[in-house]
Structure 1
Amino acid sequence: MSTFTFIHAADLHLGSPFQSLAVKEAAIAVRFAQATRTAFTKLVDQAIARDVDFMVIAGDVYDGEWKDNSIGLFFNREVARLAKADIPVIYLRGNHDADSVVTKSVPLPDTVHQFPTNKPSTIRLDPVGVALHGQGFAERAATDNLALAYPAPVAGAFNIGVLHTSLTGRPPHDVYAPCTVSDLQSRGYDYWALGHVHEFEIVSHDPHIVFPGNLQGRSIREEGEKGALLVRVADGRIAGTERLILDEARWARLCVDIGCHEGTATIAGAVADALKPLAEAAGERLLALRIELAGSCAFRRKLIAEREFLTDEIQAACHHVHPDAWLEKLVIAVVEPDGRGVGAGADRSIDLEAMLADITCDADVHHDVDAIVEAIASKLPGGIAAGNAPLGDPDELLSEARDLLLSHADARA
């Protein structure tokens, strides 16, 4: 067998709307939307620079139906660059760009090959001795084990299975095309190019079964570096792999224990110190941060009451470390020392804390809050559904309201 290289990518999600993010910060949402495109452009640049023999995209090229043809034309422009460099592209449809979801199209170069969605099939690249087997999604929800019907391996070729799947389950990803590692191994292929799961994972080395992750993180649930996988094959065996890091904007969580602090004045500096390793790893990328303050401290309610001021102070401190850092959310997860209740001088004839605890646990109150959140969310730009929680989780909103009332009770004591 010949020696060759290929790139395995998945989950481009071109055209992601970032609606919930736009509610928080429209300019940041625009930058993340552009980052998904830029990451794919960088992938094409890498493919051409490294002179790979072909590229595999294991589903979800698009995030959903196009509002217009601009996103299709962008994909066409980039794969046309690959065509000019004689690099074929083989891809299949996933749950986000299933036949029933994305109905628009633009003509793509002849070097782009798409697996059918009605049955598994084989695409052969005879010049490099490769046979690729796959089936795309006809509908958004694919509940059958598609892998078991994949064709037998082609004798004398390097066989690659391409599948958009959750395997046996990878929360929080929906369960699509479920199958086991044994199911995949039973097909006798040399490599499995998977998609759907947005985290990089080498599931198996015999044969290689790989999730490359997505090219660009789209929310705080998709932290860290993102990209694709370069695979080298020599004499019919995997000779090596290399992650290609392509993300243009990065999400990160940072937990800072403030239990040793005596007040709020030193918190921003502590956050800045903890941020330095993340900032160094991010380089010049936009860095979207969710910062959690943890530990035990007696001034928890003061933190709640002064959240807005503290948020601005921490944001400013983050800019001193990384000029392109954005504080997506400040989570105050500190707890009060044991035995601390209402303020020392508060009227203890009224157990305000107990009353509020009863209210926040009341099912009717939760129902009312859900209705209010849904009503407000439906009026936000783009008709954003309340299910996307653009206003925050209702339980968290109730908890924050309780803490604000208690902090005001302390202040009046």
Structure 2
Amino acid sequence: MKFIHAADIHLDSPLCGLSRYDGAPVDELRGATRRALQNLVEISIDEDADFVLIAGDVYDGDWKDHNTGLFFVSQMARLNDANIPVVLINGNHDAANKMTRELRLPVNVTRLSHRKAETAKSPRLEELGVAIHGRSFANAAEHDNFASDYPEKKPGMFNIGLLHTSLTGAEGHEPYAPCTLDDLRRKGYDYWALGHVHTRAILCDDPFVVFPGNIQGRHIREPGPKGCYVVTTESSGGCQLDFYGLDVARWEQVLVNVRDTQSKEEVLDRCNDALVELADGNEGKPLAVRVTLSGATPAHQALLSDQVDATNQIRSIAMSATGNRAWIEKVEFRTSPPASLSDVSETDGPLAELVQYIEELRGNPSSLQALSTALSELRKKLPDDVLRGPDAILLDKTDFLTGVMNDVQAILVQRLSEEPKE
């Protein structure tokens, strides 16, 4: 028996931030989730799958119009034509109370109830000897342990639990339908097909407890290949899991070690090599890349003193080195000087006093708090989008200000050390 385990399709969810990239094919990528769903259907047909499981969040929320639902129906109809049953549940994004529109699905699709856990009823599934148990979300925020009320396993059948959950918690995901691995093991099922967490993971192999991740990354916090698992049951009772990529565009993070580079040009050369290697290893897919420069280098102050120029240089390299396959989402500067600034701080003069002041400020919590208070008026004037998200400017947080001090010190030392221009 062979089946497909997918989750978190988030149909018609946009890829966040691509409009910021000059030259990025925004119009082409706008339909990335649709193309990923088409790939899922094609894999299911090509692999002659016996059935398909979708563990929640088919949609990203209520549709703007019926076209989103109609597209999903059309893809399920393709599976119906291939005589492939589909069993799905609603997750937090497409919970029953969030969806005000609904279209009749093809007869091959079974959506499990949001009122209580149940076992899918299908002559084809009974013929295969498989029992699929699950429950949809009634509300966007479900905090009960759904797994505890799942049906007892059916003897003599291959039992699968279909569940949208964060288990005991996952970074970046709300703690919905919480449960433990022991809760799942106690059911005695053969396979747990999970959804909700967008990072692919096989948490256990006795029984298999699996997150396939989402099928298309949507922002930089969802990097790497995205897709589904093709699961083949074995006569011994075990399973073989094969991951298939479905995504049509990919987010990646690359760490460039610039240790021992002697100049900004050498740093850029290493960026070029890293980006070429990254593009070559991603099957020609369009890439949005976050580059992090790390390591001790004499080029540290030159990089930090003009981050805009360095970032644009790296963007230019990405375009030319990868044939326009990669766009730079962001460049993070995590470099350091090859030694401490003792050569400055141990001398006399205004520059040494400045370095000493910044080092004292960085190490004094009360001074940092006073600085945070002084910056409160500036914070009120900043637009809301720079105050939220993973890259937020947190002027009210002293740990954020501590991290900024390294950059401030390097920039000031570089600028004030430069010879005045004639």
TM bucket (normalised to shorter chain) is: 0.7 to 0.9
Task: Give the Cα–Cα distance (whole angstroms) in 1 for the partners of residues 246 and 87 of structure 2.
Answer: 20
Distance, in Å, in 1 between the alignment partners of 2:68 and 2:23 is: 20
Q: Would the aligned equivalents of 1:20 and 1:390 in 2 still touch at CA under 8 Å?
A: no
Amino acid of the structure 2 residue aligned with 1:241:
L
Distance of aligned partners of 1:215 and 1:70 in 2 relative to their CA distance in 1, 3 Å threshold = same
Do the aligned partners of residues 254 and 133 (structure 1) sit closer, same or farther apart at CA in structure 2, a change above 3 Å counting?
A: same
Q: What is the CA RMSD across the aligned residues, in angstroms?
A: 2.9
User: Structure 1 residue 177: deviation in Å?
Assistant: 1.1
The match for 2:327 is 326
- Aligned ranges for residues 296-311 of structure 1 at < 5 Å? 296-311=296-311
Pairing of 1:336-347 with structure 2 (within 5 A): 336=337, 337-340=339-342, 341=344, 347=350
Partner in structure 2 of residue 351 of structure 1: 354
Q: Does 1:57 align with 2:16?
A: no
The residue aligned with 1:48 is: 45
Alignment-mate amino acid for residue 339 of structure 1: L
Deviations 1:22-74 (A, max 9, x none): 45669455554422221111110111112111100001111122222222121
User: Which amino acid in structure 2 is aligned with residue 220 of structure 1?
Assistant: I
3-state SS of paired residue (2:291): strand
Give identity over the alignment, percent. Answer: 35
Q: What's 1:105 paired with? A: 102
CA distance in 2, matches of 1:304, 1:298: 11
Say which is worse superposed, 146-155 or 361-370, in terms of deviation.
361-370
- Consecutive unaligned residues of structure 1, counting only runs of 5 or more, are 378-384
User: Over residues 298-337 of structure 1, what are the superposed CA-to-partner deviations in whole Å (9 max), with x where a residue is unaligned?
Assistant: 4423212322222222223233432201111111111122
1:136 matched to which residue of 2?
136
Residue 408 of structure 1 corresponds to which residue in structure 2?
A: 415
Following TM superposition, by how much is the alpha carbon of 1:368 offset from its aligned partner in structure 2, in angstroms?
3.6
Task: Provide the C-alpha distance between the structure 2 equivalents of 1:266 and 1:213, rounded to a whole number of angstroms.
Answer: 37
- Name the SS for the 1:295 alignment partner: strand
- 2 CA distance for matches of 1:22 and 1:368? 31
Q: 1:117 to 1:268 in 2, by over 3 A?
A: same
**2:188 matched residue in structure 1:** 188
CA offset at residue 390 of structure 1? Answer: 7.3
Q: 2 CA distance for matches of 1:95 and 1:28?
A: 31
> What is the SS of the residue equivalent to 1:131?
strand
User: Could you say what secondary structure the match of 2:259 adopts?
Assistant: coil
Q: 1:75 to 1:160 in 2, by over 3 A?
A: same
SS at match of 1:334: strand
Taking structure 1 as reference, are residues 386 and 346 closer, same or farther at Cα in structure 2, changes over 3 Å only? same
Partners of 1:26 and 1:69 in 2: CA distance:
31
Structure 1, 48-57 or 276-285: larger mean CA deviation: 276-285
Residue 176 of structure 1 corresponds to 176
For normalisation by structure 1, the TM-score amounts to 0.87
The Cα of 1:127 is off from its aligned counterpart by: 2.5
1:360-399 equivalences under 5 Å are: 362-375=371-384, 377=385, 386-388=387-389, 395=400
Superposed, 1:16-27 pairs within 5 Å as: 16-23=13-20, 27=24
User: What is the TM-score with the length of structure 2 in the denominator?
Assistant: 0.86
Aligned to 1:249: 249
Gaps of 5+ in 2: none
Deviations 1:321-360 (Å, cap 9, x if unpaired)? Answer: 3220111111111112213558989734852672695786
Q: Deviations over 1:264-321 (max 9, x none)?
A: 1222111122234322210210121111111123442321232222222222323343
Q: 1:401 to 1:275 in 2, by over 3 A?
A: same
**Alignment partner of 1:82 is 2:79:** yes
Assess if the C-alpha contact under 8 Å between 2:351 and 2:416 holds in 1.
no
Aligned-pair CA distance for 1:106: 2.2
Matched pairs, number: 402
| Residue 107 to residue 309, structure 1, CA distance change in 2 (3 Å) | same
Distance in structure 2 (CA, Å) of the matches to 1:43 and 1:172:
25
